[in-house]
Amino acid sequence: MVVLLIFGVLAGAGTALSPCVLPVLPALLSAANTGGRRRPLGIVLGLVITHTVVIVGLATLTRGVGLADGFLRTFAILVLLFFGLSLLVPRMGDAIEARLSGLARFGPKDSGEGFWSGVGVGGALGFVYAPCAGPILAAVISVSASQGTSFELVLLAIAYGVGSAGPLLVFALGGRRAGESLRKAGRGPTLQRAMGVTMLVVAALMFADLDIRFQEVLAKNLPDAVANPTAPLEKTDAVQRRLTDLRGESKFDSDRADAKQPAQPPPPGVPPLDVLGVAPEFTDTQKWFNTANGRKLTLEELRGRVVLIDFWTYTCINCIRTLPELREWDRRYKDSGLTIVGVHTPEFAFEREAGNVADSIRENDLRYPVAQDNEYGTWNAWGNNAWPAKYLIDAEGRVRYSHFGEGEYDETEEAIRALLEESGRDLSEERTQAKPEVPRITEATPETYLGSARAEGFLPEPPKNGTRRYDGDDITLPTSHAAFDGVWKVDEESAEAVKGASLRQRFQSEKVFLVLSGRGKVRVLLDGKPLKAADADEDVRSGVVRVNRQRLYRLVDLPEPGEHELELRFDPGVEGFAFTYG
C-alpha cells in the first residue's frame, strides 16, 4: 500500500503538470487574483477536497442513482460560464464574493480576506478538474463503483489530491504575483475582463469537445515527459502489480473455484451453470446505438430476460470474427428472451469516435444494442481484461457463464439455451447455422503494435517517440520480427509515415491484418514481389491498399499457413497501429 500511496502523490503531481489541467488553469488563475493573500490556498484546498470526494464518493453514488456520464462535464462547463460572467459583470462578482465570504463565520477569524470564499470557488473548480484521471485514479473510480468505497481507496484518493495540490498552488501564487504587477501598472480591470473572456471561451470549447481533441493533439505531439510525466512510473512492474491487486482479477471467470450452484436445479437435460455473482450495472457509458432514441439501457429493466454482454472493439480481428455468431444468436433467440448488449471499449484513441463505431455497427449489420464504454467504466466494473469477452446473465440478474476470446461457439449457445429454458422458455431443437471465420494456425506471429508503448520484436531496437529516420532496409529479420525504414513519426499508439517510409515484417501465419488510419496508399509486397491477386485479401487491389478510414484492413490471405516476409510502403500521412494474424 505504501508504494501505491507514493505513486498516488506522484501521479497527482504529474496530472497537475499535464495537458489535462489546461481547462481549469484560466479559472484558477483568475480566482487567485482577487481577495486576500490566503485566497489561493483556500482555492487549492477546496479544489482538492471536491476532487477527492468526487472521484471516490460519486463513483459509488452514480452506481445507485444513475447520474448521466456527462454530469460532471456539464457541471464544469456551467461553473466556467458562471465565474466568467462574474468577472465580466463586477456587480455579479461582488454578490458571489459576499455570499461565499459568509462561510468565514464557521472558520478562524484570522485566515485573511477571501480564504473561505476561495474554498468555495475551489470546491466548484474541483468539478472541472475531476475528469482528469490516470491509471491510479481509474482504479480508484472503478473499484469504488463496483465494490464500494474502502479506507484504502480513500487514502489513495487523498494521496492523489495532495500530489495535485503542490503544482496547482504554485500556479495560483505565480498567477497572483503576475496579476499584482499588472494591477500596479493600472491594468487590473483589463486583466479581469481578459480572464472572464478566457473562461467563457474555455467553456465553449468544452461544450464542443474541442478541449479533448486539443489534449489528444498535445499528448500525441509533445514528448512523454510533458504529455504524461508519470508514464515511466506507471509502467513499472511494482505499480502494475499493486494496481492489479487493487482492481482484482476478472470477477466472473467460469473456472472460478468459489462459484456457487444455482438455488434451483435446472430443467431435465439442461447442464448446470454456476452462479458467478451479481451482474454489475452499465457504468459511465457514452452514446448508445440501436436503442429507442439512443436511450441508455439498464440491467434492471432487462430483468426477466437472459442477457449476453459482449466486450469488443471494432478494429480487433478476434472480435470481428465472433460477430457472425452474435448476429445469429440475436436472430434466433431474441424473440425467445435473449438480449445481446455489445459494450464497445476502445483500444486506440480513434475508436472513441462515435461515428467510427456507428460505421462499424452498420457495416457488420449489428441489430442489437451497443454502448460506448470510452472511459472503461463498464469494463472496470466487470473486472474485464480481454477482447472479446462474453458474459451470460440469467433472468434474475446473476452472471452464470463467461468466455474470453474466440471459439467455443457451440458451448456458448448451449449455455444461452440452458438459461432460456431455466427461465421457462420453450425452445425448438434448431441451432444457429453461422460459420464464423476460424484461423487454421495455432502458433501464428503474435499481435504486433507499431506504437512505442507496446512495440516488441523490432530491430535494431524498438521505435521511440518523435520524428526520426530509421535504417532497417538491410536487416535480416528472424520470424515474428519487424523493422522500420525511412522517416516515421512515432507516438505511444501508432507510427505515421513521413518520407520514404516502409515497414518489413517476418510473419508466420495464413492471414495478415493491419489497423490503419489517415488517407493515402500502402503498397504491399510479399517475399520481395508485389502481392499477387491470389494471395491478396479483400482490401488489396493490384497490390495496393487505399486507406480512407480508421479501421482494420485485410491485407494477406494465403492458401495455407506459412512463413513469409511482408513489406509495406506507405504514402506520407498514413498511420499504422497494430498487426494481427490468423
Alpha-carbon gap, residue 299 to 361, rounded angstroms: 22
What is the pLDDT averaged over residues 199-224?
Answer: 66
The predicted pLDDT at position 361 comes to: 95
Domain range summary for the chain, segments of one domain joined by +: 2-227, 249-422, 448-581
What is the pLDDT averaged over residues 250-260?
Answer: 60
* In the predicted structure, residue 171 carries a pLDDT above the cut 60: yes
For the chain, the average pLDDT equals 79
| Per-residue CA distances from 385 to 83, 200, 249, 286, 325 (Å) | 42, 40, 8, 20, 21
* In the predicted structure, residue 139 carries a pLDDT above the cut 60: no
* In the predicted structure, residue 167 carries a pLDDT above the cut 90: no
Element (H, E) at 529: strand 529-530
CB 42 within 8 A of CB 130: no
CB 43 within 8 A of CB 125: yes
Q: For a pLDDT cut of 70, what percent of the chain falls above it?
A: 70
* In the predicted structure, residue 581 carries a pLDDT above the cut 50: yes
For domain 448-581, give the CATH superfamily.
Answer: Galactose-binding domain-like (2.60.120.260)
For residue range 450-480, list pLDDT tens digits in order: 999 889 899 999 899 999 999 998 899 999 9
| Per-residue CA distances from 343 to 220, 287, 376, 517 (Å) | 26, 11, 10, 23
Where are the extended beta strands (E) located within 435-519? 448-449, 466-470, 481-490, 495-517
The predicted pLDDT at position 68 comes to: 34
What is the pLDDT averaged over residues 336-351?
Answer: 91
* In the predicted structure, residue 237 carries a pLDDT above the cut 60: no
Helix (H), strand (E), coil (C) string for 35-99: CCCCHHHHHHHHHHHHHHHHHHHHHHHHHHHCCCCCHHHHHHHHHHHHHHHHHHCHHHHHHHHHH
Lowest mean pLDDT, pick from 33-37, 46-50, 555-559:
33-37
| Res. 261 pLDDT band, cuts 50 70 90 | low
Lowest mean pLDDT, pick from 254-268, 298-312, 392-406, 566-580:
254-268
By three-state DSSP, how is residue 553 classified?
strand
* In the predicted structure, residue 221 carries a pLDDT above the cut 70: no
CB 424 within 8 A of CB 415: no
- Hunting for cell 476460424 — which residue is that? 438
The predicted pLDDT at position 40 comes to: 84
| Res. 67 pLDDT band, cuts 50 70 90 | very low
Q: What one-character DSSP code corresponds to residue 245? A: H
For residue range 429-457, list pLDDT tens digits in order: 777 766 665 555 557 888 899 999 889 89
What is the pLDDT averaged over residues 198-210?
Answer: 75
| Res. 21 pLDDT band, cuts 50 70 90 | confident
Give Cα 145 to chain centroid, integer Å. 16
Whether cis (ω within 30° of 0) applies to the bond prior to 460 is yes
Count of residues in the chain: 582
| Res. 557 pLDDT band, cuts 50 70 90 | very high
Q: What is the CA radius of gyration of the chain?
A: 27
Whether cis (ω within 30° of 0) applies to the bond prior to 266 is no
The predicted pLDDT at position 52 comes to: 74
CA within 13 Å, CB half, 194: 9
> Residue 366 class from Cβ within 10 Å (0-12 exposed, 13-18 middle, 19+ buried)?
buried
For residue range 366-413, list pLDDT tens digits in order: 999 999 999 888 988 898 878 899 999 999 999 999 998 888 888 899
* In the predicted structure, residue 106 carries a pLDDT above the cut 50: no
CATH architecture of 249-422: 3-Layer(aba) Sandwich (3.40)
Helix 188-207 and helix 210-221: axis angle, to 10°? 90
Lowest mean pLDDT, pick from 112-121, 247-256, 366-375, 402-411:
247-256
What is the pLDDT averaged over residues 573-577?
Answer: 95
